[in-house]
């Protein structure tokens, strides 16, 4: 009752400051009902976000974030999204270890270290893990960022592309987590971040292996979160999964070059890195979809089948058209030469 009076008093004060013509408009019964509905909807949204946040983080608050306490292992940190994450974290004085099969073609910051490693090999991950612990200590943050993708139909995709996609985008998460999570559990401190994709929720043509690997990465994140909570009682070890739409990296350069014909939201590596760094600094676990105004994408599989098919059809038709444009452009280039 007391809270109700305080809220009512606050609204009355605000109402009294409005121009008379606005006050008369608000007093119309239909307008008042509409405003009441909007206020209730907004309040429910705030409450929902609060409860979701607390549930995803085990209703446990952590102390202030201390970068000097963290040691990050970042897979695929030599290009694209990984390189941007590296740059952003090292600027915050965080020590970062890169695991990649590519050598960095740029000068590493003083607080960054590179280890050449094929993360699809469990024995290689174990070997490099021992080396990291010996030279730097136990990692406290693991960012499973490395990813590959090929735009090929099921019949056209060679076996090596399918296997590589699943091994890098999904299976490697098992090897890195098995290697670095035990010390986090022991200290009840750490963060596992999975860079997935909007393809975790919707698969279109030419992306069966990629979408399958990212859907599996989401399931991996969800299961790991449950194990940390109920099996290992490590409620301060956070887990986050990041779902970006298309990201401007070499993986999709051919599609983006189609210009105005590419209608989907295009993220930059900086957009994805910002989401990852925010999770780390805020010590918050959960599911993040970027751009945030496409957060409803996670509800896709809860829609009626005909609605799901309409979404997938739209994406697939666009890819078909983009491939046609690519072929036309290639033919024009060949003729010109």
Distances in whole angstroms, Cα of residue 109 to Cα of each of 79, 91, 263: 15, 9, 37
3 state DSSP class of 244? strand
3 state DSSP class of 287? strand
Cα(first)–Cα(last) distance of the chain, in Å?
Answer: 80
Q: How far apart are CA 22 and CA 202, in angstroms?
A: 45
Q: How far apart are CA 238 and CA 141, in angstroms?
A: 9
Reply yes or no on whether 210 is catalytic: yes
Q: Which of 214, 232, 235, 260 is catalytic?
A: 214
Reply yes or no on whether 214 is catalytic: yes
Q: How far apart are CA 177 and CA 144, in angstroms?
A: 9
Distances in whole angstroms, Cα of residue 116 to Cα of each of 74, 132, 258: 12, 12, 35
* The pair of three-digit structure tokens given for residue 26, joined into one six-digit string: 């608000």
Long-range contacts of 36-43 (CB under 8 A, 24+ apart): none
* The pair of three-digit structure tokens given for residue 170, joined into one six-digit string: 């999904």
Pair 95, 78: CB distance under 8 Å: no
Q: How far apart are CA 201 and CA 215, in angstroms?
A: 7
Q: How far is CA 172 from the centre of its chain?
A: 17
User: b vs e for 94-111, b when ≥16 Cβ sit within 10 Å of the residue's Cβ?
Assistant: bbbbbbbeeeeeeeeeeb
Q: Which of 115, 178, 187, 210 is catalytic?
A: 210
Which residues are annotated as catalytic? 210, 214
């Amino acid at each position: 009752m007391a809270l109700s009076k305080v809220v009512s008093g606050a609204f009355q004060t605000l109402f009294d400051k409005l121009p008379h013509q606005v006050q008369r408009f608000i007093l119309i019964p239909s307008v008042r009902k509409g405003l009441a509905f909007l206020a209730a909807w907004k309040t429910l949204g705030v409450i929902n976000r609060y409860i979701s946040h607390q549930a995803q983080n085990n209703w446990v608050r952590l102390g202030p974030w201390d970068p000097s306490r963290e040691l990050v292992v970042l897979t695929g940190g030599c290009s694209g999204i990984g390189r941007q994450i590296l740059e952003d974290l090292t600027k915050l004085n965080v020590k970062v270890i890169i695991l990649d099969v590519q050598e960095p073609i740029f000068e590493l910051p003083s607080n960054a270290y590179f280890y050449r490693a094929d993360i699809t090999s469990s024995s290689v991950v174990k070997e490099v893990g021992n080396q990291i612990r010996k030279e730097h200590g136990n990692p406290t943050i693991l960012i499973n960022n490395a990813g590959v993708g090929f735009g090929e139909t099921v019949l056209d995709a060679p076996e090596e592309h399918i296997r590589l996609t699943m091994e890098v985008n999904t299976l490697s998460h098992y090897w890195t987590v098995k290697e670095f999570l035990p010390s986090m559990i022991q200290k009840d401190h750490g963060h596992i971040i999975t860079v997935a994709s909007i393809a975790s929720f919707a698969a279109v043509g030419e992306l069966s292996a990629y979408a399958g690997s990212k859907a599996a990465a989401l399931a991996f994140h969800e299961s790991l979160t449950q194990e940390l909570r109920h099996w290992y009682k490590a409620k301060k070890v956070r887990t986050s999964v990041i779902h970006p739409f298309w990201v401007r990296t070499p993986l999709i350069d051919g599609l983006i070059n189609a210009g105005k014909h590419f209608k989907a939201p295009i993220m930059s590596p900086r957009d994805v890195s910002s989401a990852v760094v925010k999770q780390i600094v805020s010590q918050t676990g959960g599911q993040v979809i970027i751009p945030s105004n496409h957060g409803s994408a996670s509800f896709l599989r809860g829609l009626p089948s005909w609605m799901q098919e309409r979404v997938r059809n739209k994406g697939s038709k666009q890819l078909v058209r983009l491939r046609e444009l690519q072929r036309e452009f290639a033919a024009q280039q060949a003729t010109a030469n």
